[in-house]
Amino acid sequence: QKEVEQDPGPLSVPEGAIVSLNCTYSNSAFQYFMWYRQYSRKGPELLMYTYSSGNKEDGRFTAQVDKSSKYISLFIRDSQPSDSATYLCAMSNTGGFKTIFGAGTRLFVKA
């Protein structure tokens, strides 16, 4: 079983839609849960992160962590064509050296 599973997509939505991106993981020791956005030919950009469990909101983006189900989500409200990118989830534990990355979900937002 992979340590993190992420649907590669592609996911295509119309402008203005609510987008839901998800990852499941297997290691209950993870404490940091991150979401990165990667545009073509660029490095991943840290969008949001959560420590432990719960929700976090930043503008149009909401990150949720459900540790009991080992499931994390990123919601994008009022999606824009500029949101078209690959979104990677990632997890790590404090003091560890290894961050586990999902393979990324490719998102297309159509104008």
Q: Which residues bind another protein (CB under 8 A)?
A: 8, 31-32, 34, 36, 41-46, 49, 88, 90, 92-99, 101-104
Report in angstroms the alpha-carbon separations of 65 from 15, 30, 38, 60.
26, 11, 21, 17
CB of 73 to another protein, least distance (A): 17
Smaller CB distance to another protein: residue 42 or 77?
A: 42
Smaller CB distance to another protein: residue 13 or 48?
A: 48
CB of 87 to another protein, least distance (A): 13
Dig out the tokens for 82 from the structure: 């500029």
DSSP 3-state assignment of 14? strand
Beta strands 45-51; 4-5: pairing state: unpaired
Dig out the tokens for 44 from the structure: 């991943």
CB of 18 to another protein, least distance (A): 25
